[in-house]
Structure formats: structure tokens, C-alpha cells
Amino acid sequence: MDDVRFAVLGTGGIGRRTLEVSQHKDGLTAVAACDRNGVALDHDGLDVEELLDATEGNIASGPEEDVATDGGAAAEPVGSTEGVKQHGDQAGIVASEQGSPTETPIDDVIAESDDIDAVLLALPNLEHDFIPRVAERFAEADYGGVLIDVLKRSRVIGMLDDREDLLKESGITFVCGAGATPGFLTGAAALAAQSFVEVEEVEIWWGVGLKSGYEDNRGTVREDIAHLDGYDIEEAREMSEEEIEALIDEHDGVLEFHDMEHADDVLLERAGICDAEDVHVGGVLDVRSDEKPTTTTVSVTGTTFDGETGTNTFELDDATSMEANVNGPALGYLKAGVRNNRAGHYGVFGPADLLPSF
């Protein structure tokens, strides 16, 4: 495949690490990145290292995100605040030599999107329809390329489907739910299902140890809290940082989740693997240790053509961080999205739609 030129909207943990991981492979060129206050654009390729160095622990955030400034955590232990810039006019991308201040960062990227093959939407978790509305803006500008997100919420998939005609007209291939779970693990479930003519149950069970990555992933933690008994997404969004800390204290830093609203269910159903209701997602998050509290496992139970019932499993080594399991697969799906887009396949695709299945 030819070179893929991509942009990242949002330079929180996921956006930054996607830029970082992309440097490890050939054929991926980062040409644009933006955050709330700034944009960096270079069609010959951004200097990713400079951009990451200049913005480390210096994430431009607004009122929805009360992001601490000692982050950059995946690469840097908590507490290392040396050289960290404070919020203000010079926060975020504008602190980079390559960045310019802007009040319309997304529009600035859209304006240059003719030469961009794929755009990763690594935006904070705002309203349910925020990502779908960003997609609309790209479609209205007649963008013909890939949009990809790492969203988790089942209901957002339907909102994207509602806009499928618009996306198709524009020539957009929207790959949704393409992080770790949904994403990597959804794909693993689709693959593991190939032994079976009928899938009875998919169980996705994840473990995340987030001590040194906590600051970078507050948005994700907040999103997870919405799945605890007695909470929902609205409630989690309105919690102050102090309330979240108190909740985490109550649980000694370890939160266990069951039957989460995770888009794996609708993404597997739309790919014809199984019914959404037969998909169960849960896991354990430890924000005070980098060790995973439980091993991330996908179990697919089904019946073979010759009448046997069995369970195939996919297990991630505890040593592989959530970050590694989000960003590699996200880039893999991004490239698969570009292949599909170049082949004229437009509309909404989940991870399992991009895998062989019979």
C-alpha cells in the first residue's frame, strides 16, 4: 500500500501515543494534529518528536477536561514535572514550533483535508453525538477519506449509521470503535468465531493497570465510571475531579465493571458474528498500579458445523499496556480503512467488518 498521510484531532493520551506509535512503522506519515487552541500542519510530514516533546505534560484542555499538567504519563512516571509547561496561552500544540494558534482547529484541518488520507478523532468524551457531528462537518466539506474513532459507547454507532448516506455521498469510510475494546478485542472475537457456524456467547474481560498513565487517561477513567452500578454517562461527566478521586479512594483504586455499555456488542452484531445481547464486556481497572489486576481475555463460545461446542480464547500478555493495545490496532484499522476507502467502500465500518468472516 502507498503511504498513508493522517491527521489526529485531539492530542490527549490517545492522540499523542498514536503519533508516537506511528513512527515505529513505515508508510504512516502524520501531517496534521490539533487541539483546542492550536493546529500543526505539514503535508511533508510533521516532526512528531518535536511536537511530542514540546507538548509533553502540556495538554490544552477546556472546561470539560480538567487535565492535570504532570502527565505525558505513558512515557513519564507521575511526579516528573520537570520542564512542564502550565496552562495558558502557550498550552498544547501552540507550544510546538510547528503549532499555530487558532480558534477553529477542526475547520483548519478540514480545510487541508484534500491531501489527508485518514483522520483519527481522538477527541474528549463530550456529548454522545459529538463525534457524529464532527463527521458531518467533514462530509459537508466533501471530504473523501477515512475518519476513525476509538469510541466505546454502543449508542454512538447508531448515530453514525443515521448519517451513513451523508458519509457515503461524500466518500467517507468511517471506522468506528477501533481502539482496544471495542477494536482490537472485537477483531479477535470475530476471528475466533471462525471455528463456529453459530456463536453463542462472546465474553470480553479486560484488565488495566493505569498508575503511570492515569493523568493521561482521566477521560477514559471518567468514561469507565459511567459503567459502575449507580452511575451513568451524564452523571460521570458532571462529577468533579475531587468526586472522582473520592470514588476511587472508596474502592482502594480498583474498580470492577460488569455488563458495560461497550460498542463491541453492536459492532459484532453488525458484522454478523452474533447477537448484540450475547456479548458481555467487563473488566478491572487499577489506577494505583501499573500491573494489570486481571488478564485481558476474549472468550468466544460457539457450535461447530460438526455439532461440537467449544470456547476459543485470545489472551493479551499482562505486560502489554492498554496504550499498546489501543494505538497499534487503531493504526492497523486506520490503514485497513484507507485500503477500503481507496477501493470505493464508503459508509460506517466496525473493526469486525474489516476482518475476514464467513
Task: Find the shortest distance in angstroms from Cβ 242 to its own copies.
Answer: 30
Q: Number of residues in contact with its own copies, rule: CB under 8 A?
A: 59
Residue 349 · residue 270 · CB < 8 Å: no
Return d(Cα 135, Cα 133) in angstroms, integer: 5
Return d(Cα 241, Cα 41) in angstroms, integer: 33
Residue (42 or 290) nearer to its own copies, CB: 290
Residue (82 or 306) nearer to its own copies, CB: 306
Residue (238 or 306) nearer to its own copies, CB: 306
Residue of 33, 325, 346, 348 that binds its own copies (CB under 8 A): 325
Return d(Cα 77, Cα 91) in angstroms, integer: 21
Residue 48 contacts its own copies per CB under 8 A: no
Residue 287 contacts its own copies per CB under 8 A: no
Residue 333 CA neighbour count, 13 Å, CB half: 37
Give the type of residue at 215: E
Residue of 196, 205, 214, 346 that binds its own copies (CB under 8 A): 196
| Interacting residues with its own copies between 72 and 101 (CB under 8 A) | 74-75
Return d(Cα 45, Cα 115) in angstroms, integer: 12
Three-class SS state of 335: helix
Residue (36 or 335) nearer to its own copies, CB: 335
Closest CA to 72 of 32, 121, 15, 30: 15
Stretch that binds its own copies, among 119-127, 154-162, 263-271, 339-347 (CB under 8 A): 339-347
Closest CA to 132 of 72, 102, 177: 177
Catalytic residue numbers read: 152, 223, 227
Stretch that binds its own copies, among 19-27, 39-47, 220-228, 274-282 (CB under 8 A): 19-27
Residue 109 contacts its own copies per CB under 8 A: no
Label residues 119-132 b or e (16+ Cβ within 10 Å = b): bbbbbbbeebbbbb
Residue of 52, 191, 271, 348 that binds its own copies (CB under 8 A): 191
Residue of 50, 161, 203, 318 that binds its own copies (CB under 8 A): 318
Residue 184 contacts its own copies per CB under 8 A: yes
Q: Mark residue 169 as left, alpha or beta (left: phi above 0; alpha: psi -120 to 50; beta: remaining).
A: alpha
Residue (225 or 355) nearer to its own copies, CB: 355
Residue of 323, 346, 348, 350 that binds its own copies (CB under 8 A): 323
Stretch that binds its own copies, among 109-117, 134-142, 239-247, 328-336 (CB under 8 A): 328-336
Residue 2 contacts its own copies per CB under 8 A: no
DSSP β-ladder status, 38-41 and 28-34: antiparallel
DSSP β-ladder status, 173-175 and 254-257: unpaired
Stretch that binds its own copies, among 54-62, 101-109, 238-246, 330-338 (CB under 8 A): 330-338
Beta strands in 71-192 (DSSP E): 99-101, 118-121, 146-149, 173-175
Residue (62 or 272) nearer to its own copies, CB: 272
Residue 123 CA neighbour count, 13 Å, CB half: 20
Sorted by sequence, the CB contacts under 8 Å of residue 173 that are 6+ apart come out as 145, 146, 147, 337, 338, 340, 341, 345, 346, 347, 349
Residue 289 contacts its own copies per CB under 8 A: no
Residue (233 or 322) nearer to its own copies, CB: 322
Residue of 85, 126, 194, 239 that binds its own copies (CB under 8 A): 194
Per CB under 8 A, residues contacting its own copies are 17, 20-22, 24-25, 28, 74-75, 184, 187-188, 191-192, 194-198, 304-306, 308-321, 323-325, 327-336, 340, 343-345, 351, 354-358
